[in-house]
Chains A and B, each alone.
Chain A
């Protein structure tokens, strides 16, 4: 039976290095299968997160041959087997152990977003064409691969000032929700720092759910922020009315 060589990061917050494992290949095998094989035969304490193994839960994110992927959807027959397959944890988040990273920052950002707030008196009727664009955003499985590749987070570590693509998608789902009434542009600008995104589309490329993050979520949200805060006419209206949005 054919075999593949894996170099898997082993280590914790302090230190670590890749360890080498040989894994037999079966038809249709994915990288997560190989990691399970390593656990069962060579390294029972190899730390890996996974749940559904069907691309629906977004738990098994890692960097395979340098590319951020869901390991449950990365097929071995799509990788060159004449060289070791490297598996590393997501770079943008602190390592806990092996392939498991500390993603708790995402949960803290999520808490900042003002929740769904239905318009008073809504009749709860809406049509498929009005729902389609929000349903695209709600496909998100929170694998955090978009956060991992976003250079504002990955290279510039702007976690204090920036929410990241995942949470722009969440805000877009709320802002474009047919029943929602709450404004969130102020917090998008001030707390989630949407202005820091310079639309390189890395997030869109890596999304396993094929959500068009940049085109359908981030750009329309940026436009809303611009209209609201930088359009001279809007600025004048706001000055006269003296209104200020809630942001928390």
Chain B
């Protein structure tokens, strides 16, 4: 096959260089595959570096009673039993080994008195379980994986964005993208592709997510025929910064509460006593986020519309040692010394439980040759993710995706890609340059964020969701007429125009799934259907493309085997 495009060939192509992507790359390399990793930013800048609190793994270094069964039970209960039980089991069983492996690759975690990896308490975890490095655990993990990957010689294509998956019949055969720097197009031929593109938070106005989190991987997979699942479950982290306006949404790690931080409303009441008297501040994120939101809505919020989070009762040195980046973040961005007084916090869009539907053992999607891991994949977390389970997810299922993708590449012959697919992708991607006097992509993005924030937020109802779907239709039409200025050389306006398409696709999937689920479960709260509905407890919403239309159907939640059911029901 000859094309006019710069072309690279790999057995396994990994899209995304965060924790899941890099762990997948290491897994595939171990199988002898030729591996390429494509990432939108520079290597080492992925969203994983923003993960703060820790990696959940039942190592039992601090609480000796901990084991995989308890971690499994916590995960299933936290996910309101909508999780893939097999993923939750694999995750709980394999996480400790994945953490030890990181240490053997050079990661240096905080230590216990007897020289082991230290573990801290976190919301929804029965035992102290989160292996951590102060409040910069994600950076430690990413740097370790990055160094290992560089050492073993993975090919990394930095600042390169994929715009379309290429197929040979039903099979995934490659990817078509552009270099951000020059705006030139590039083709990657691959027998297997692993999606490790993270989440979708940039579709909301108040978010802890970076510009990269535009749902590309999910939208690409959907366009290529793969199924998406659980798209209604969007996690709003209870504690984002609320003041000043420029920092609204920036994450305040759950480790603040893990280390003893207390939530109060403006009347000084410790309001978690009302919402979850047993677990208090360390209740699950869905519960704490709704609690803060409710306090504010009912007039008991702080000056800037949040709640107070206070860790100043702990010794100042301890706070600076265990929460150094929070200390600096508040000091430098909000003029607040957290060792002396409370922070103001409120919910911020943080994490996508839903995503590409995958097989528990192999992380393969329903599209042949396409795999997915980490936030881009669905299943492990069900209706709500526990803090700390994301970093362990990246390692456990990143590795499995890499292994399975390499295995798949060994078994299939080379694919053929007809050049018409690439030319069509090029035409589509360049179209915004050809239109004059259209709207700016920034305007449409801002409107999308308002719609998702106001109509598809923490509390939802039928009217809002229906309205959101109508508004999204209008935005889709507007986005087809937008235009971009300037050249193809490192042009963020153009990049946003292309990312918008993905954001609109995933936003529609979220609204459609949220409208269908007429109950409240985990992170999905319907004001018009406030309780759990047992019938919905046995169904996952699945989104699939039929022709050009997005369709939704339900799929039964796989039933727990008897032994695991016992574990979940134990006290």
Q: Which residues of A are in contact with B by a Cβ distance under 8 Å?
A: 12, 26-30, 33, 39-41, 44-59, 73, 75, 96-98, 100, 103, 107, 110-111, 115-116, 118, 124-128, 131, 134-135, 138-139, 141-142, 174, 177-180
Contacts and interface: CB of A to CB of B under 8 A. Distances in A.
Given A44-B485, A45-B492, A52 B329 contact: no
A92 B153 CA distance: 27
A30 B334 CA distance: 11
A111 B152 CA distance: 10
B42 A59 contact: yes
Contacts of A128: 110-111, 118
22 contacts: A27-B245, A28-B333, A29-B246, A30-B333, A33-B246, A39-B493, A44-B440, A45-B486, A45-B494, A49-B42, A51-B41, A53-B210, A55-B329, A55-B332, A56-B139, A75-B333, A97-B489, A118-B106, A135-B108, A135-B133, A138-B140, A139-B139
Interface string B476-519: 00000000111101111110000000000000000000000000
Given A27-B244, A54-B250, 11 more contacts: A27-B245, A29-B244, A30-B246, A41-B442, A55-B328, A57-B50, A58-B45, A125-B116, A127-B111, A141-B49, A177-B106
A131 B245 contact: no
A44 B442 contact: yes
Contacts of A56: 49-50, 136, 139, 325
A28 B108 contact: no
Contacts of A27: 243-246
A135 to B, nearest CB: 6
Contact of B440 (A33, A40, A59, A73): A40
A3 to B, nearest CB: 16
B314 interface: no
Given A100-B490, A138-B143, A51 B246 contact: no
B50 A52 contact: yes
A12 B247 CA distance: 30
Contacts of A107: 43
B104 interface: yes
Contacts of A39: 442, 492-493
Contacts of B247: 28, 30, 54
Given A30-B246, A51-B212, A45 B110 contact: no
B318 interface: no
B489 to A, nearest CB: 5
A44 B41 contact: no
B150 interface: yes
Interface in B438-480: 440-443, 446
A59 B136 contact: no
Interface string B100-132: 100111101011001110100000000000000
Contacts of B42: 49, 59, 103
A177 B100 CA distance: 16
B571 to A, nearest CB: 34
A134 B108 CA distance: 8
Contacts of B136: 56, 139
Nearest to B250: A54
Contacts of A26: 244-246
B181 interface: yes
A46 B492 contact: yes
B5 interface: no
Given A55-B328, A128-B110, A128-B111, A48 B251 contact: no
Ranked 7 nearest A-B pairs via Cβ: A28-B244, A45-B486, A44-B493, A116-B106, A125-B115, A40-B442, A115-B151
B238 interface: no
Nearest to B440: A44
A116 B100 CA distance: 15
Nearest to B51: A56
Contacts of B133: 135, 138
Nearest to A139: B136
Contacts of A46: 492
Contact of A40 (B147, B446, B494): B446
Contacts of A98: 490
A177 B494 contact: no
Interface string B217-252: 000000000000000000000000001111100110
B50 A45 contact: no
A26 B115 CA distance: 48
A50 B440 CA distance: 20
Contacts of A131: 108, 110-111
B258 interface: no
A49 B333 CA distance: 20
A14 B147 CA distance: 34
Nearest to A73: B332
B382 interface: no
B329 to A, nearest CB: 6
Contacts of A49: 41-42
Contact of A55 (B147, B325, B485): B325
Given A44-B485, A48-B492, A97-B490, A142 B332 contact: no
B29 to A, nearest CB: 14
B251 A177 contact: no
Nearest to A59: B45
Contacts of B140: 138
Given A45-B486, A47-B490, A73-B332, A138 B108 contact: yes
A168 B43 CA distance: 19
A49 B181 CA distance: 11
Contacts of A54: 50, 247, 250-251, 329
Contacts of A178: 108
Contacts of A73: 332-333
B134 interface: yes
A122 to B, nearest CB: 9
A188 B246 CA distance: 42
A48 B181 CA distance: 11
Contacts of A110: 150
Nearest to B325: A56
A69 to B, nearest CB: 11
Nearest to B142: A57
